[in-house]
Amino acid sequence: MSELTSQVQYNSDEPERLDKYLVTRFPDHSRSQLQRLIGEGLVLVNGSQPSKTGILLEKGDLVEIHFPEPELVDIIAENIPLEILYEDKNLLVINKPAGMVVHPSAGHSKGTLVHAVMGHVPFLEGIGGKMRPGIVHRLDKDTSGLIIIAKNDNSHQWLQRQFKLRDVEKIYLALVDGHPATPTGRIIAPIYRDRAQRKKMVIAPEGKGRPSVTEYHIIRQYAKHALLKVHPLTGRTHQIRVHLASLGIPIAGDKVYGHKKQSIELGRHFLHASELSIRLPGEKKKTTFRAELPDELAEVLDNLK
């Protein structure tokens, strides 16, 4: 990822919120954009990633900010087949295949989920941002499963608010190398971006990083693997993959956080967003959506039996 890096020193005698200060120093960027950069680990304060966007800066603090270099592309709708599980006037629920990037970015100027959705719903452009129209949350490229797309601004705000308040229940299925030490468990470990490899996340030292919590439950054990039901209580980048790897049970097929020698020849990691419970716009009760394992993952389980 190409980046433009800026360093500024806070020189006021009065403490000020980090996100508020950055708005004054970089007026071409909105507060929400800067908060997103902080959340993605692209802002450092005295060399460390802040635990939240609103930490107070003290006089002399050095702030380093990495702006991803924008890629000048126009999003052109593409006729890409989508597995649409639910659709109404406000939103789409899609079963995303592995290998599909969610939104355009450096190196991915076509063939993304956004391009496909715009081919289905042309008026999406602009909802939630020019490069991420309709996108409420994300899945990694090689993670398959449920993703929700807003069709209008009101729905986008309604849905995104639930993600911010952690009022959305997400369940993933993950096949891991090895066996967890306990049938169920809760992993509480902050995560931040690896300064040496900025596309990679790592467990943060105590007092640093963003709080991250993941729960798991063993569904089935095999000779050298275990199938887990995973419930992330927070939504950090690569959270499930990093947390499970930290226990010594990386996700099978994960080329970034897994073993160098893969236990299964799969071409992707075995992680699937299988359930999503959320309140639809105007509704008080949550609706639960489910997506079955794709054939290539179901075949892996059959072979392990």
Residue 220: predicted pLDDT? 97
Residue 111 reports pLDDT greater than 90:
no
Question: Residue 1: its pLDDT value, please?
Answer: 42
Annotation marks residue 61 as catalytic: no
Q: What percent of the chain has pLDDT over 90?
A: 59
Query: Is 270 in contact with 294 (CB distance < 8 Å)?
Result: no
| Percent of the chain residues topping a pLDDT of 70 | 92
- Which domains, and CATH codes, for the chain? 3-68 (3.10.290.10), 71-165 (3.30.2350.10), 170-273+298-304 (3.30.2350.10)
Q: Mark residue 207 as left, alpha or beta (left: phi above 0; alpha: psi -120 to 50; beta: remaining).
A: left
- Does residue 175 sit in helix, strand or coil? strand
Mean pLDDT of the chain: 89
Q: Which among 61, 140, 142, 254 is annotated as catalytic?
A: 140
Contact 252, 261 (CB under 8 A): no
Tell me the C-alpha distance between 234 and 178, whole Å: 24
Q: Are 88 and 54 in contact (CB under 8 A)?
A: no
d(CA 103, CA 134): 10
List all residues 6 or more positions away from 24 whose beta carbon is below 8 Å from its beta carbon: none
Q: What distance in Å separates the CA atoms of residue 42 and residue 305, rounded to the nearest whole number?
A: 44
Please say whether the beta carbons of 43 and 61 come within 8 A: no
Q: What token pair was written down for 42? A: 């692209």
pTM: 0.77
For residues 110 and 75, the answer to whether their CB atoms sit within 8 Å is: no
Coil vs helix vs strand at 93:
strand
Predicted local distance difference test score (pLDDT) of residue 285: 96
For the cut 50, the answer to whether the pLDDT of residue 305 exceeds it is yes
Per residue in 12-38, pLDDT (tens digit) is 888 999 998 998 888 767 788 888 889
Please report, for residues 135, 158, 256, the alpha-carbon distance to residue 121 in angstroms, rounded to integers and kept in the order given. 13, 19, 34
Tell me: the pLDDT tens digits for 57-87? 999 999 999 887 554 456 788 889 999 999 9
- Residue 196: both structure tokens together: 């040496």
> What are the residues facing 9 on neighbouring strands?
62
User: What does the DSSP 8-state code read for residue 70?
Assistant: P
